[in-house]
Chains A and B, each alone.
Chain A
């Protein structure tokens, strides 16, 4: 979510302060691009917004098929927006498959804009329609606006002499033009963007601009039936300042750069291509001037091992992946725990198990993060609640890693990684530095003790190349203080205890858990983590408006948990934990605090809707 929330309790829920539009089409139709540009225009109009890109795993799925549908949803308006919206008000369907897969979500009475040019017999068959739905009355509970966008687009770009295929590619700009008209948006930023994007191909730039203008003009001059009319949504009241849009992947990359700078360290990033985590590698590879070295390794294992090697040599090692890749990195994570080297591991979670749903979101790697290693191998875990929050979380992960000499897992998910939101640009000066000091001389008189711990339980960081401090580390159990090989029973007990105490102790350096909406104590606490923040916050706000005694608690530090969390939870009669898995955080809360946390789970690859959580709240309090 956005920047800063106006208190949802103080807000009216009357429409149309916010509108949800979903663009859906073939994966080759440029829907993500259309959505992205519409988002930008919303930002420039001062609207708050949240987006949800939903695209297929196939790069070029066969045209017109149900599994090749790509959609982009944006919720924007003059109130604070926390989620990409439950049900769309407007569905732009570029072909029958897009209509079929998306129309079920549309609000009753909502508007369908369909391109009749694509509702051919062949495309209808591909979408498994026996009869054209635009003609058989099956869409009667919605407003349908169907016209031949393909033909209108071809007409508008005729002067530029493009081939038929190329000309049809301008359809998304035509549709965007119409959408801009409907919501009273300025076209100029898009025209500037097109000119810049196609700077090397003036004809393509002009054709796309012509299509954009034609779509806009169509809205203005054609006699559109139904409820289609120009709708102006005013700016949302937000704190003054400089804003930009940011996706979670960008925010993580920026946060890592910031974290390394605050630690006064060069950063080494080892990665391997995997959806949806690759965007972090793509972002960092362009930031070499910030003393960032990126390394695309031969596999996930090499990516983390190289990052650990870089940490050993005195840089801030970072690696990033998604569930299956994290599984491959697990053994190396154990080595980082044993050798007590700093490391940040980012997991952009996706639907599992195995390859699962590469492009869909889920929160099902929480057990993996908290428990998923051989041996007693504690690793701190942090989770980001939104794209903007991922920036702060990445910095926090860097801080914990270097101050406690430990690997740290940062959990985001496919939704956060891809979703965009307005972000109040932070001032780096507002963040406290945590400069690292490497050991420069022997730390016990004439002796070097590589595993001598400080008050926090952290061992010294010793860079190879430092004269006089030669020593050996590795994955075999270390002797207390000296770090020599030691298999003896008492020593293993002592070292296991020391590793656990160090990570448990991180709880002392994190903020106490707050209640982000509602009261401390009461009938019901809805406890969330990660990207469920938006729908939980809205649902709790709505329920409180109805007079229900419910509060929202959102946990950033998954491991170790904030010290006051147990007492806080015990102050409520009931605890409800919505999460996009089968109840993993619920289990952790029960295990740690013996509270009767109840799960609300969803594993469809789609985020929660506000209504789903609202219903669960009402059910719990009934």
Chain B
């Protein structure tokens, strides 16, 4: 995000005249609406906002947001975003990618944009499948996923985007899912984080991986299966009857029962978004034995890449006059007169 003067817009101001071409029922619609609803609340300026994407279903996103948009090539959106932000740090850059785009073909760039800490919001739509190419398994597909390219089930272990991001050095990690009412809050937190803000958004691919996330995203029983994290608040779920505590002997997390609301007695951890050790445990926390960790898992800003580059340029340029003629004549020179060289 940038320190800008907030301007007043409505959701309508962020809609383009382009026909949206996602499949009916696709989770992308809900994410698009959440973003379009959030931007006015942030006071964002369409003229100062750039959505950059790679290739895939998710990467069509920029066409539907009335701002500046650049639909680039497969996996490379972080590199384009880096050039854009270094050329004009005043722009608000949103990066939209998917599990194939950001974790597979573009994994390298995802790693480097995070470790450099370019100031941008990275929304990785994870549907655990290649949708636009008609349903092949992706790097986040669970083991045994059957698809046109894995008719006998996939055999490789899936990547975990949030664990990857944290390992790469990200300073902001959050999770949400397409139809969640909490998604705007997560987007706002990402926007307010100065630096690379990584948001994994579970997204339902209605055609090739339908209801893949129903086990935790379904409204029925959601309380028991979703752990929404809030900074400074205890990690409670199941209507406050369960919580997450630290198993100090094994140095792992554990689920504990909370009796009569006394979460302190149960040893439930208070979420501290700046605690990197706990963040490591949260991104690795397996769904099933544990609820799905959602919301802002980690948020601890550091100086940004573009600020460091600018500062270095200013320092290196200080007191130097950009005189091209002098530059060309630099180094060891000699003058040739009519009579030959004058040494």
Contacts and interface: CB of A to CB of B under 8 A. Distances in A.
Contacts of A239: 336
A306 B82 contact: yes
B338 interface: yes
A306 B69 contact: no
B332 A291 contact: no
Size category of the binding interface on chain B: 35 or more
Given A43-B334, A261-B324, A302-B109, A472 B341 contact: no
B84 interface: yes
Contact of B76 (A244, A301, A339): A301
B79 A331 contact: no
B198 interface: no
Contacts of A266: 87
A45 interface: yes
Interface string B30-63: 0000000000000000111010100100000011
Interface stretch (A85-93, A462-470, A502-510): A462-470
B68 interface: yes
Contact of B86 (A290, A295, A468, A474): A295
Contact of B70 (A44, A258, A472, A485): A472
A257 B62 contact: no
Interface stretch (B146-154, B259-267, B315-323): B315-323
Contacts of B112: 297-298, 302
Contacts of B63: 472, 474, 485
Given A425-B328, A464-B84, A313 B72 contact: no
Contacts of B85: 309
Given A310-B87, A474-B62, A243 B80 contact: no
A280 to B, nearest CB: 15
B324 A473 contact: no
A62 interface: no
A241 B90 contact: no
B73 interface: yes
A555 interface: no
Nearest to A293: B86
A307 interface: yes
Contact of A290 (B309, B325, B327, B332): B327
A305 interface: yes
A96 to B, nearest CB: 35
B180 interface: no
B338 A240 contact: yes
A463 B88 CA distance: 10
Contact of A305 (B72, B90, B312, B336): B72
Residue from A242, A303, A339, A474 with most neighbouring chain B CB atoms (10 Å): A474
Nearest to A305: B79
A312 B332 contact: no
B133 interface: no
Contact of A465 (B91, B336, B338): B91
Nearest to B67: A470
A335 B109 contact: no
A465 B86 contact: no
A609 interface: no
A309 B324 contact: no
B296 interface: no
A80 interface: no
Nearest to A188: B343
Contacts of B24: none
Interface string B276-299: 000000000000000000000000
Q: Give 8 nearest A-B pairs by CB, closest first.
A: A309-B83, A474-B71, A46-B341, A306-B83, A305-B79, A472-B69, A313-B87, A302-B79
13 contacts: A240-B337, A242-B336, A288-B316, A290-B327, A302-B76, A302-B82, A309-B83, A310-B86, A331-B73, A332-B73, A428-B325, A471-B68, A472-B70
